[in-house]
Amino acid sequence: MENLDYGIIGNCKSAALVSKTGSMDWCCLPNFNSPGVFAKLLDNEIGGSFEINTGDDYNIEQEYLWETNILSTVFDNGEDAFQLIDFMPRYSRNDGSYYAPPDIIRFFRLLKGAPKFKIIYNPRLEFAKEKTFNENKGSYIKSFTREGKYDSLFLYSSFDLDSILEEREIVLKENSYCLLAYHEKLIPQTLDRSYLKFQRTKTYWMNWSEKTTRYSHYHNEIMRSALVLKALSYKKSGAVLAAATTSLPETIGEERNWDYRFCWIRDASMVIKVMAGLGHVQSAKEFLQFIIDIIPHKDEKIQIMYGINGEKELTEHILDHLKGYKGSAPVRTGNAAYIQKQNDIYGILMEVIYQQFLQFETSLENSEELWTIVRGIVMIVEENWQKPDKGIWELRTEDRHFVFSKLLCWVAIDRAIKIGEVLRMGINDTKWKTLRADIYNDIYNNGWNEEIQAYTQSYGSKDLDASTLLMESYGFIEAEDPRFESTVRATEKELCRDGLMYRYKNKDDFGEPTSSFTICTFWLIDSLYKIGEREKARAMFDQLLSYSNHLGLFSEDIDFETKRLLGNFPQAYSHLALIETAANFSKGLVSEENFLGVF
């Protein structure tokens, strides 16, 4: 695949990526962070995949079923046609719990004629570290390893199992199915059972989508992004993943390859804020409980990221037997950045807690736990805000006084004061307000570069950084303030290239960045809109939307020249920013239309 032309399917337990030709090239089971069973995405030869191969005379069209995370791929050569429906089961039981097994169902619906194809079933368990064996056990194909760490997988199907194993041509004469299961099934699997799971799963997603706030403009883009964010949510713990993949490079052939199958406090907090704004209050509550669960002690330091079950050690490993996406090694599992010090996370976490108190009912016990966390965060910020850190972009070079980190320290204290006001806990007001003023003055005096008339990446630097565009969003500065407008224009001039944004252009530990960071372009668009450049902002937004893949999905990065998607995929951060920007545009356009309608 020359682009990340994949669709994501998932059930809030794990996920898989299916290419626009119906090949399942990425899947980790039983959970998001498990070893890959299909990883052709990271090694075309040994990674493993689950492919449907038709002749070249078939036209292939792919789309999501309306407002669901169920993927439809239609193969049609004029005379013969069938629909491949891919999904991971998820639906509610009678007791209110959810059925969401580590299963994938591929439902083959006959549309006309007698379509012919081959099924290339090639699982490579444990990221293909050891050989995977496949055996026909009569009612299923069992795939398993004999050396190294033992793992197994089960494939049930209405097709002849030997035809699958021997990759013989199959003629589709009636609706059929394949069920991929991490656990052996205890009851017989049938076509009717798979079809029932399909209907129940479709109903689940349509009901979920129906509860999502609807906008008059860009509704389809907002809905698809919301569904992506839901697919990246781990129901068991409340965590939200940054992306479904590992080691997809920011630039082909470079080493900026990271494992994003974890919960970044920064990313997930922003996701939950947006999801709550879309009407999905339960997701916000589940994430807040995740936060409470990972901070058990008053002196517990907050990490920048955690495992999806709250794991604190995310040791990084290199899988040197895999070539990497398009040869872009290394392939990594784990992420060494978990030990980094990033002071911005306190402000983002505090913002989410503040929104919780403002928008949702909170029990006394829960309020007391959150108030303890608030006071603990204030103490940490008070002790650390004047110290340098690694910053939002997790630079692995020396620590600096990053403006964004200072900004979010200010946010932490500002929101703590406001939370105290909500709870009528005014005992710390004077001390906290003095601290807030001290941080504000420090940023105002040291973050601003008079020569270039902009807030810069770090104190004493002339380098610009897209993260300063968020200063208005967090309430540090007004959109009408000359400093903000000047910062927006200077940042656009320095970092924008053909309508796409760099995060920054100064060299980091891997050299100068060579691809656009998708979320930063959304930030610029939003900022231009706020300073009055509305037509320009909307034109840039529409152009950026055209760079999504065929299903409206975005990764972390976009290549400046080719506009191909790069980086881990699909990226929660990118879709979060898309929703925020689209919602702002939609509200603005409705206001304009209402105004014009008066005359």
User: Comparing 508 with 97, which gets the higher pLDDT?
Assistant: 97
Mean pLDDT of 356-377: 79
Q: Which amino acid is at 466?
A: A
Mean pLDDT of 83-87: 98
Distance of CA 559 to the CA centre of its chain: 19
Mean pLDDT of 497-523: 84
CA distance linking residue 331 with residue 329, whole number of Å: 5
pLDDT at 596: 42
Mean pLDDT of 399-406: 93
Which pair of tokens denotes residue 451? 């020569």
* In contact, 226 and 212? CB cutoff 8 Å: yes
Query: Which of 485, 579, 582, 569 has its CA nearest to residue 541?
Result: 582
**Strand (E) positions, 253-358?**
263-264, 305-306, 317-318, 332-333
Query: Which of 431, 279, 272, 232 has its CA nearest to residue 355?
Result: 272
Percent over 90 (pLDDT), the chain:
74
Query: Which of 309, 282, 304 has its CA nearest to residue 349?
Result: 304
pLDDT at 1: 58
User: Comparing 153 with 304, which gets the higher pLDDT?
Assistant: 153
- Of 56-65, 94-103, 140-149, 582-591, give the lowest mean pLDDT range: 582-591
pLDDT at 131: 96
pLDDT at 595: 39
Cis peptide before 513 (omega within 30 of 0): no
Q: For the residues of 502-545, what is the DSSP string, one character each?
A: -S--S-BBTBS--EEEHHHHHHHHHHHHHTT-HHHHHHHHHHHH
* In contact, 127 and 39? CB cutoff 8 Å: yes
Burial (Cβ within 10 Å: 0-12, 13-18, ≥19) of residue 92 = middle
Mean pLDDT of 552-573: 96
Q: pTM of the entire structure?
A: 0.93
pLDDT at 454: 97
pLDDT at 599: 36
pLDDT at 589: 63
Exposed e or buried b for every residue in 259-273, given b needs 16+ CB within 10 A? bbbbbbbbbbbbbbb
User: Comparing 255 with 202, which gets the higher pLDDT?
Assistant: 202
Helix (H, G, I), strand (E, B) or coil at 440: helix
Which pair of tokens denotes residue 434? 């003095």
CA distance linking residue 316 with residue 396, whole number of Å: 14
Contacts of 533 (CB under 8 A, 6+ apart): none
CA distance linking residue 425 with residue 417, whole number of Å: 9
Which pair of tokens denotes residue 319? 């899988």
pLDDT at 296 over 70: no
CA distance linking residue 429 with residue 2, whole number of Å: 56
pLDDT at 345: 86
CA distance linking residue 196 with residue 182, whole number of Å: 20
pLDDT at 513: 72
Alpha-carbon dihedral 567, 568, 569, 574, rounded to 10 degrees: -70
Cite the DSSP H helix spans in 360-428. Answer: 364-384, 403-423
Mean pLDDT of 111-133: 97
Mean pLDDT of 230-256: 93
CA distance linking residue 494 with residue 463, whole number of Å: 9
pLDDT averaged over the chain?
91
Query: Which pLDDT band, with edges at 50, 70 and 90, does 363 fall under?
Result: low
What sign results for the dihedral spanned by CA atoms 223, 229, 235, 239? negative
Task: Return the top range by mean pLDDT from 84-98, 100-114, 382-396.
Answer: 100-114
Query: Which pLDDT band, with edges at 50, 70 and 90, does 585 fall under?
Result: confident
Helix (H, G, I), strand (E, B) or coil at 131: coil
pLDDT in tens, 420-460: 988 877 666 789 999 999 999 999 999 999 999 999 999 99
Mean pLDDT of 45-68: 96
Q: In the chain, what is the straight-line distance between the N-terminal and C-terminal CA atoms, in Å?
A: 52
Query: Which pLDDT band, with edges at 50, 70 and 90, does 396 fall under?
Result: low
Query: Which of 241, 237, 347 has its CA nearest to residue 288?
Result: 237
* In contact, 3 and 283? CB cutoff 8 Å: no
pLDDT at 298: 66
* In contact, 252 and 241? CB cutoff 8 Å: no
Which position has the token pair 């789309």? 63
CA distance linking residue 208 with residue 204, whole number of Å: 6
Query: Which pLDDT band, with edges at 50, 70 and 90, does 598 fall under?
Result: very low
